[in-house]
Structure 1
Amino acid sequence: MDDGLTTQRLFERIARDHPGTLPLADLLDAFSERAFGLFLLLAILPAFLPLPAGAGAISGPLVSLAGLQLLAQAEHPWLPRWLQRRPVSTASLDRFRVRLARPLAWLERVSRPRWPAMIDHRAAKATSGLLLVVLGGLLALPIPLTNYPFGLVLLVFAVALIERDGRTLAMAWALGVIEVLLVALFVDDVAKLLLSFGERVAAWF
């Protein structure tokens, strides 16, 4: 895979080279050091598509999974076997690209490979991982009207990792911290939602 690919070109090549569906593991393997960024993009896809309520409950755990692996200094995303085999629709990916064409185009204009230590240093990977774990957990909560705000911040993370741009990643850190602080201002409401969410999960078992 050409290291000079931008995020949008990456999606276009996937759609061109793999019409129909492609197992998720094969898709990630094709992008080696870009794989965490691609996995993050795929994880937040439900947050931007017109799905029924609960899209964050799909995206959130996957975002946190990516964060945990970055915290553990993993070089490539690990997925459970059932998720490795899950087919990814390249048509859905292309719709995602079209839906987010404007923010993606802006991010690509300001992104380029730079500040590699912000991407590869152990402390930087741990910082990204910790923020992704927290943001993924918050995205999973049933908080109304938060899918897009969390999704946009996570989009900045994903593009930074795909473009290997440490400066854009620093911006993603700042936006992530601001978002967590804003949620913390409503900590009582979040605690109630967490309790309600936990009770619903417990009722399933």
Structure 2
Amino acid sequence: MTLPHDPRTTELFRLALEQNTGDTISLEQFIAPLEARAYGFLVVLLSLPNFIPIPMGVGGVCGTLLIIIGAQMLWGMPRPWLPRFTRQHGFPRHSVETFVSHMTPMFSRLERVCKPRFEQITRRPYSHFSGLMLILLGILLALPIPFTNYPFGLLILGFGVALIERDGVLLALIWVATLISTAMVGSLSSAMVSLARHFFG
């Protein structure tokens, strides 16, 4: 069980700002207080572009990055690894503060619903399976299937929140939804191949 003093997501964000008082804050500095929960934070970040009307191709980029993060979890790395230029890149403090202020209300609402429960499911050895599910989600997101960024984005967002809040119940539901989505996409792809062979084969 989680100890009563374990900080919630919004508290960790505030802690990151309090511990870094400079004019710039790197991604490495910002996610340091999250420790193993940094996986969830990065997954949440990768879910956000899927809700923004930006040019096509974002699914391929976010999906590829999600596969990389999932592979690290599958491998059993305790914390996510990022290239040096990514983790040491400095962001203006005011930009980070703005990001936190915009994200805090959303996470505050999620914290009312999500809570630490069945936490073992969010940790090793089950985290290896979570890594595999993230790889599947990354592949689904990267596929050029129209109108799927939003539903897959919701799954990814839920995945990240479950990891951050150590909500094993939500995580298990996301696993099931991911497997169902994979089966549905596989069936659709098989049907399209059979249809193409019927007309052109």
Return the TM-score normalized by structure 2. 0.77
Q: Shift of the alpha carbon at 1:28?
A: 2.0
Return the TM-score normalized by structure 1. 0.75
**Hey, what's the Cα distance between the residues in 2 that align with 1:38 and 1:81?**
18
Q: Shift of the alpha carbon at 1:85?
A: 2.8
User: For residue 133 of structure 2, what is the aligned residue in structure 1?
Assistant: 131
**Of the candidates 31, 35, 38, which is equivalent to residue 35 of structure 1?**
38
1:53-202 pair list within 5 angstroms: 53-87=56-90, 89-90=95-96, 93-94=99-100, 97=103, 101=106, 107-122=110-125, 124-188=126-190
Contact 1:40 1:158 in 2 (8 A): yes
The verdict on how the C-alpha distance between 1:188 and 1:78 changes in structure 2, with shifts beyond 3 A counting, is: same
Segments of structure 1 that go 5 or more residues without pairing to the other structure are: 192-205
Q: Shift of the alpha carbon at 1:147?
A: 0.9
- Which letter maps to 1:60? G
The 3-state SS of whatever aligns with 2:25 is strand
Higher Cα radius of gyration:
2
Q: Shift of the alpha carbon at 1:70?
A: 0.8
Contact 2:16 2:31 in 1 (8 A): no
**Hey, what's the Cα distance between the residues in 1 that align with 2:177 and 2:14?**
28
Q: Shift of the alpha carbon at 1:64?
A: 0.9
Q: How many residues align?
A: 185
Contact 1:107 1:156 in 2 (8 A): no
**Hey, what's the Cα distance between the residues in 2 that align with 1:186 and 1:18?**
52
**Hey, what's the Cα distance between the residues in 1 that align with 2:97 and 2:56?**
22
